[in-house]
A and B are shown apart, each in its own frame.
Chain A
Amino acid sequence: MSIIEMVLIALVYLGIFSVAGLFLVLLERRVAAWFQLRIGPNRVGFQGLLQTMADALKLVSKELTGTEKADKFLYNLAPYFVIITALMALGVIPFTKDFQAFDINIGIFFLIAISSIGVIGILLGGWASNNKFALIGAMRSGVQTISYELSVGLSLLTMILLTRSLQLSEIVEVQKNGWLIVQGHIPAIIAFMVFMIAGTAETNRAPFDMVEAESELGAGFHTEYSGMKFAYFFLAEFINMFLIAAIATTVFFGAWLSPFGITESIPWLGVFWFLLKTLILVFLMMWFRWTFPRLRVDQLLTLEWKYLLPINLVNIVIMAFVVWQNLIIQF
């Protein structure tokens, strides 16, 4: 592999990264407006398509302020963590059979590991800001992310029993005999529901947005970040939401495989199917946001440790039984 090729791949993924981020911000605002019977941003470009582009340009031209009491080194280091981990995780997502930057044999494990490194960025940023709102937000983020990571890991593990492999391309290959949510029927549906709840919590989105609860913490852990430095956290949050939806698509809904193999002869249409499934799940997460009220910290921990974790442990046994007795539904 030549250097030029590597640079090109990096550039393509940086492009996907920023376009996906910008598009999802706009989608979030339009969906929010839709749920509240408003119109939402529709003036800049066709149907507001260039709105977030304009916002990004504005953010670049804003001054990078910060408190002089902050721990300068850690304060500047924090955005690197959130951006790099989100970018790396994007690299293993199989958009089609060939469109995947690196297909390592521990794919799922890598995704779980990388998503837990991202929280270090939030903890660093919140602590280094030397701001009380930021510190409380960061601490809440820490306890919330590590708690819900267990459920993300265990629900994906339930599906690995079916796939016999951690490699994402092989996970897709197995689903040629039916998507895993159909193959695994009852335990797979439970695992999917647990995964979506835990995934929403892990990305710190409403109703689990204790980390940046506007009404009590200002802007939470990124209170002291301005301009571009704020934009990194914002962008990474939306990319993480996309990643959770993309992982769910890959593991439960057959990634780039078309329903009933209707477009199997045209491989590049895989991107369309992949994005369609992912956007439906992203919409589901936005729907959560405007439906459920925000949880308190104790309710949040009760939900994870007293409900989701025991459900997950029982669910693994059920799935193991289903696989052992060969009760899988295959076409």
Chain B
Amino acid sequence: MGSEAIIVFFLAGVVLVAGSNFLSNLISHKSDNAQKREPYESGMKTIGPTWVQFKVGYYLFAILFLIFDVEVAFLVPWAVVFQDFGGVAFIEIIIFLFILGLGLLYAWKKGALKWE
């Protein structure tokens, strides 16, 4: 099957989830009360809003990830054609990875990899 398979699998996934949701709604037992609709916090009432400003550490790692993920995207075409080029490609990639390694080292020394 060609690339249309992606659409077929997408639709299959949608049908699976929507279908089971429908089936579940059809045969499940239903009861309702006010406590049931509260957020679950081990029986305690929630204090304050949940959607607040969140720890910045997660954001820092997301930025770092972005840098290295773009690098992976650059490395993929290099890896595919490496055997055709041999020595030149080898020296080039050492320079490329050296600069990237310096970037990682910089982030490391700056303390960006430390979780506080």
- Contact of A313 with B by CB under 8 A: yes
B106 at the interface (CB under 8 A from A): no
Give the tally of cross-chain contacts (CB within 8 A): 200
Known contacts A64-B21, A80-B17, A150-B69; A6 and B8 CB within 8 A of each other: yes
Neighbour of A310 across the interface among B2, B51, B83, B104, CB < 8 A: B104
Please determine whether B104 and A9 come into contact, CB atoms closer than 8 angstroms.
Answer: no
Q: Which of the candidate stretches A126-134, A182-190, A199-207, A244-252 sits at the interface with the other chain? A: A126-134
**A101, CB-defined interface residue at 8 Å:** yes
Distance of A84 Cα from B14 Cα, bound (Å): 7
Q: Nearest chain-A residue to B85 (Cβ)?
A: A324
Interface string of A142-186 (1 = CB under 8 A from B): 110011011001100100110011100000000000000000000
Check B39 against A131 for contact (C-beta < 8 Å): yes
* Interface residues of chain B: helix, strand, loop or mixed (majority): helix
- Which residues from chain A contact B115 at a C-beta distance below 8 Å? 297-298, 301-302
- State which residues 45-60 of B face A: CB under 8 Å: 46, 50-51, 54-55, 57-58
Q: Are B90 and A320 in contact (CB under 8 A)?
A: yes
Chain A residues with CB below 8 A from B79, complex form: 157, 160-161
User: Per DSSP, are chain A's interface residues mostly helix, strand or loop, or mixed?
Assistant: helix
Give the chain A neighbours of B11 by CB distance below 8 A.
10
In contact, B17 and A104 (Cβ under 8 angstroms): no
List residues of chain B with CB within 8 A of the CB of A153.
69, 72
Asked if A20 is at the interface (CB within 8 A of a chain B CB), the reply is no
> What string of 1s and 0s marks CB contacts (under 8 Å) between B20-42 and chain A?
11011101111100001111111
Q: Which residues of B contact A196 (CB under 8 A)?
A: none
Q: Are B58 and A139 in contact (CB under 8 A)?
A: yes
A79 within 8 Å of B (CB atoms): yes
User: Is A35 close to B, CB under 8 A?
Assistant: no
Residues of A within 8 A of B57 (CB): 143
A323–B42 touching, CB < 8 Å: no
Q: Is the CB of B3 within 8 A of A102?
A: yes
Q: Is the CB of B13 within 8 A of A87?
A: yes
Mark out the residues of chain A between 233 and 249 whose CB falls within 8 Å of any chain B CB in the assembled complex. none
| Bound-complex Cα distance A34 to B14 (A) | 37
Beyond known contacts A14-B12, A130-B51: 18 more, CB 8 A cutoff: A6-B4, A60-B24, A60-B28, A84-B10, A88-B9, A112-B72, A130-B39, A131-B46, A160-B76, A161-B83, A227-B24, A227-B28, A228-B21, A232-B17, A301-B115, A302-B115, A305-B104, A310-B104
Q: What are 16 A-to-B residue pairs whose CB atoms are below 8 Å?
A: A6-B8, A13-B12, A61-B28, A63-B30, A87-B12, A101-B5, A143-B62, A150-B65, A218-B41, A228-B24, A229-B21, A313-B97, A313-B100, A316-B75, A317-B93, A320-B89
The 10 closest A-B pairs by CB, nearest first: A84-B13, A102-B5, A298-B115, A10-B12, A160-B79, A228-B24, A68-B37, A131-B39, A146-B65, A67-B39
